[in-house]
Chains A and B, each alone.
Chain A
Amino acid sequence: MLAFSHFTSVLLFATFASVVFAITQRSTPRGMVRYGAFCWVLFVGSVIAASWLMYFVRK
């Protein structure tokens, strides 16, 4: 059984979802790479931001 941490799961989720979003939402290879990177940063960045928010709310 695999037991990833929450953050590792987020990284994997962001990677796979970004690949699919990039391929389906853009037409050119360059556009796909840029959009995929954008989605990945947005996924991971949102999680990090939400984590810090919850940390300060808890304090």
Chain B
Amino acid sequence: MASKAQTPAPPTTQGFAYSALLLGWLIPGAGHLITRHWVRALLLFVAITAMFALGLAMQAKVYTANTGDPLDMLGFAGDLGTGALYFIARIFSLGQPTVQLVTADYGTKFVVVAGLLNFIAAVDAHNLRIGRKV
């Protein structure tokens, strides 16, 4: 009698499978929080939020949509990665409309990279949520 190869059952996720991805994007580290990785969540929140806040404190430019410049659109896509932080910055008019100092240029990069890092963190939280990563 031929025996069937035993393959591990795919991990089951209860609830909405993309919750960690969306929550992780909206609030840095929150995706890891709902997958019960407390220390990782705290470190991600501190690193990404501090990077964003330091960028703003350095007079960073906060990009907006529909400026017509492709580089500005890419900057907007990066900024949008910070989720709620970006919307808070826009609502309270934090940041500058233009870069006027060298440190403001560094700050602009800090804000964009904080968003890109948050995208990576959100995808990592999704992988933890669906069991692709432990």
Contact = CB atoms under 8 A, between A and B. Distances in A.
Contacts, number: 59
Interface string B50-61: 110010011100
Given A6-B106, A13-B110, A27-B133, A20 B120 contact: yes
B113 A17 contact: yes
Interface residues of B, number: 28
The size bracket of the interface on A is 10 to 19
Interface residue SS majority, chain B: helix
Given A2-B57, A20-B117, A24-B121, 17 more contacts: A1-B57, A2-B54, A2-B58, A3-B58, A4-B58, A4-B103, A13-B51, A15-B47, A16-B48, A19-B44, A20-B44, A20-B47, A20-B48, A21-B120, A23-B32, A24-B124, A27-B134
